[in-house]
Amino acid sequence: MLGEHGRRRAGNGDEFWQYRAAGAGDGSRMIDWRRSARTDGHFVREREWQAAQSVLFWVDRGRSMDFAGGADRPPKGERAQLLALALGVLLLRGGERVGLPGLPARPGRAQVLRLAAALAAEGAEDHAAPDLAQVPMHGRVVLISDFLGSLGPIEGAMARAAARNAPGVLLQVLDPAEESFPFDGRTIFESMAGGTRFETREARGLRDAYLSRLAERKAQLADLARASGWMFRTHHTGEGPQPALLWLYRALERR
């Protein structure tokens, strides 16, 4: 993916695109004489227009991303920001343009500092909604979240990206405790923003229903990605960031 990319039409570039019949205004230096020698006409060799790729990131800044199930691992939001910034650095080094909602996609080293500052902003609600009002035409989109809130805003964002012919990837970031539900006995569950609170004396009795709902949500995300031509993966904060970063990089290489 790095560097310039073909735009499926004639223009400036190094890659061969097509032959076309020579017309008025085409000088002799534009004629491909080897190709023309095989026919009675004259043909011009056209190259494919090359341009840098624009990649738009959205990283969930909702309060649910502040959750960390243990002192030995980072909050989900911190890991999501790290992955987005690291991926942004790799793409910018390769000559791509990278941006966020409210931060236009630009190339260059200075954009790294802008990305870092924008990613550090915090939200007030438990679950944020992606703002993809300015998806770059023929670009790429990266959505990073726990995706535990309503999927309606996610579906809407992906539809807007599809209208701009901009496929992308969904990276779900979860804490290991959200995967295993290790709770037992009397437990108080409270949302990070404090808007929801639930107390139970038998947390273990909720485990099967919770895990079933989580599996259902993952299946919904996978189906949504598949139907839209996107890619989906779940990353756990108990793991190192390198595998997820490599997956993101390779997923964006798909054209």
- Asked if 40 and 123 sit in the same domain, the reply is no
pTM above 0.95, yes or no: no
- Asked if 78 and 41 sit in the same domain, the reply is no
Whole-number pLDDT of residue 51? 54
The one-character DSSP state at 135 is: P
The pair phi, psi for residue 123, each rounded to 5°, is -100, 175
Whole-number pLDDT of residue 11? 39
DSSP string, 143-198: EEE---S-SHHHHHHHHHHHHTT--EEEEEEE-HHHHH----SSEEEE-TTSS-EE
- Asked if 201 and 156 sit in the same domain, the reply is yes
Whole-number pLDDT of residue 7? 38
pLDDT in tens, 147-159: 999 999 999 999 9
- Asked if 33 and 121 sit in the same domain, the reply is no
What letter represents residue 176's amino acid?
Answer: P
SS3 helix, strand, coil % of the chain, rounded to 5?
35, 25, 40
Whole-number pLDDT of residue 4? 47
Q: What Å distances lie between residue 164 and 25, 135, 232, CA to CA?
A: 34, 7, 20
- Asked if 103 and 178 sit in the same domain, the reply is yes
Tell me if 115 sits within 8 A of 98, measured CB to CB: yes
- Asked if 171 and 108 sit in the same domain, the reply is yes
Whole-number pLDDT of residue 8? 42
- Asked if 94 and 163 sit in the same domain, the reply is yes
- Asked if 83 and 180 sit in the same domain, the reply is yes
Total domain count, the chain: 2
Question: In the numeric block, which tokens belong to residue 153?
Answer: 């805003």
- Asked if 128 and 138 sit in the same domain, the reply is yes
- Asked if 32 and 111 sit in the same domain, the reply is no
- Whole-angstrom distance, CA of residue 173 vs CA of residue 139: 23
Closest CA to 214 of 149, 163, 148: 148
Q: Can you give the residue range of the structural domain that contains 109?
A: 53-253
Q: What is the CATH number of the domain that holds 86?
A: 3.40.50
Residue 60 CB coordination number (10 Å): 26
* Regions of the chain with pLDDT less than 50: 1-14, 16, 48-50
- Asked if 79 and 27 sit in the same domain, the reply is no
Whole-number pLDDT of residue 246? 96
Using DSSP bridges, classify how beta strands 187-190 and 197-200 pair: parallel, antiparallel or unpaired.
Answer: antiparallel
- Asked if 237 and 174 sit in the same domain, the reply is yes
Q: Which helix (H) or strand (E) holds 219?
A: helix 207-228
